[in-house]
Structure 1
């Protein structure tokens, strides 16, 4: 999906292996919250963006699991690369999608992405050079790693002995269990003055008032955690999940979207990003979602890790 919210690579097939080598040392598990499973639900009966497949609400049964409290940081991903020699898909392809206003040098832009002129392909943009040649992530070690594909995220998850969460697990954790709420903090709507997370303030894409203090990504613990202890489940960066993207609707646009998603093997992302705003991309709600091909990467896509609960352990 080459949509408003993130740049898509488009074909879904890199033709390269991205898993960590078998000789690599195992990575360290991050701080987690234990999440009680049981009968719960995913989606909503009150969808806002119908074509995204936010509804209908449907019941699911979840096992207990653990979810890391924050998205994987640049510093932690660097440790993974150092230990495994992993080369990301953006590095292999030689380019990635960058939010053009982040560029110090507009001449680096090599062309728009789809119908979204604020996205551009930048040769040499990677997780360690987020805006391409001349940029560096060295001063963002506590920010979420970006320019990582679904395949890259799965390779990291394997390294630490975890996995990507399912969409239902992600929503269940964000809602704080089996209850209906619009955001991880409750139902209060964020505005340009009431700040709960890192999203756009002002008029997109021409003016960001920076009321939250950030133009791009923010450190992974920039805002207070929700009551369970999770940071930034809304805003900052889109988070890859393990699920394929599907729309449950019989409408013709939905069928066409499903055909496209299957063709590109699209995966679900959750949480919205620093580019979201109610007037433009109202996708920082818990039920909101987006689909991208698994080889896509951009300035605002990242991930966090889930873990299965051992069979002899139960979450209280």
Structure 2
């Protein structure tokens, strides 16, 4: 069926369009047997909704900041009470930036390729000397869950539920290995921005991008949505629990009432979906259909963004 599209009409600019796509409601099989926290496959019904056709861009987020004077979590001063014993001069705002090692390393310790960069934020993706000038049509990054939710509220939208996100990503095609189909490279072409090469030290950039790509750089899915696989992870509204699918309701699930991650029991986490430009067949294969990500609500990184939805 043809999918109707419409601009939100609230805010438009030279880059980014705020265009939303009408996603029909329906029943689908949610989850993936390949991933322990995405089991079991289960039947879910969602109502129709509107979804941003692409991830929120730097240009769109800049309009929000200009209108509200909002300061993201990565830009806010750090509270010394949260970091007992850490010298005050080290409590500098920043965010996590992928920093590839110069040689092959064990994949057991992600700290070998992630670095907390002081001054890194959505406006300065790689640190104070970097800028988003010339990158206005790329996804906004270094946004926490609260940052994403604040933008969504300002725009008259909200973040998608995990079920809405997966239903939209399937594009009406049901469960497949990847959201686009059964082959990683249909007709020999990369159709999502993920990592090629020897992770994390050598990115061959066969898909044309070393980091986040401008939105709409790859083909849309059958619903007219771009980058539901790869590019940047996307926040969902659901709290994260690895066992939630065992008791998730069938109709319009909203996520569990509390968060629990056995890897970090004290952290409050929300679901992230879609994988990023750092996912590969060697590490983090969660660009595959049905897989789930997770993130502590106040943290961001240079491979994490979001898109919004609106009730039908």
Aligned residue in 1 for 2:98: 99
Q: Do residues 70 (structure 1) and 50 (structure 2) align?
A: no
Give distance in 2, aligned partners of 1:278 and 1:259. Answer: 25
Give distance in 1, aligned partners of 2:38 and 2:185. Answer: 20
Give distance in 2, aligned partners of 1:190 and 1:276. Answer: 15
The offset of 1:237, in angstroms, is: 0.2
The answer as to whether partners of 1:174 and 1:183 remain within 8 angstroms in 2 is no
The answer as to whether partners of 2:269 and 2:296 remain within 8 angstroms in 1 is yes
Stretch deviating more after TM superposition (261-270 or 91-100) = 261-270
Equivalent residue of 1:138, what SS?
coil
Equivalent residue of 2:18, what SS?
coil
Unaligned runs of 5+ in 2: 1-9, 79-92, 102-108, 246-258
Aligned residue in 1 for 2:68: 84
Give distance in 2, aligned partners of 1:59 and 1:262. Answer: 29
The answer as to whether partners of 1:273 and 1:284 remain within 8 angstroms in 2 is yes
Render the CA deviation track for 1:151-187: whole Å, top value 9, x for unaligned.
0000000011111111111110111137222323212
| Residues 126, 175 of structure 1: alpha-carbon distance in 2 compared, 3 angstrom cutoff | same
Unaligned runs of 5+ in 1: 1-25, 103-113, 251-255, 310-316
Q: How many residues align?
A: 264
Aligned residue in 2 for 1:292: 295
Aligned residue in 2 for 1:20: none
The answer as to whether partners of 1:204 and 1:277 remain within 8 angstroms in 2 is yes
TM-score, length-scaled by structure 1: 0.78
TM-score, length-scaled by structure 2: 0.79
Give distance in 2, aligned partners of 1:308 and 1:39. Answer: 17
The offset of 1:101, in angstroms, is: 3.5
Equivalent residue of 2:97, what SS?
strand
Equivalent residue of 1:258, what SS?
coil
Give distance in 2, aligned partners of 1:289 and 1:261. Answer: 16
Aligned residue in 2 for 1:158: 153
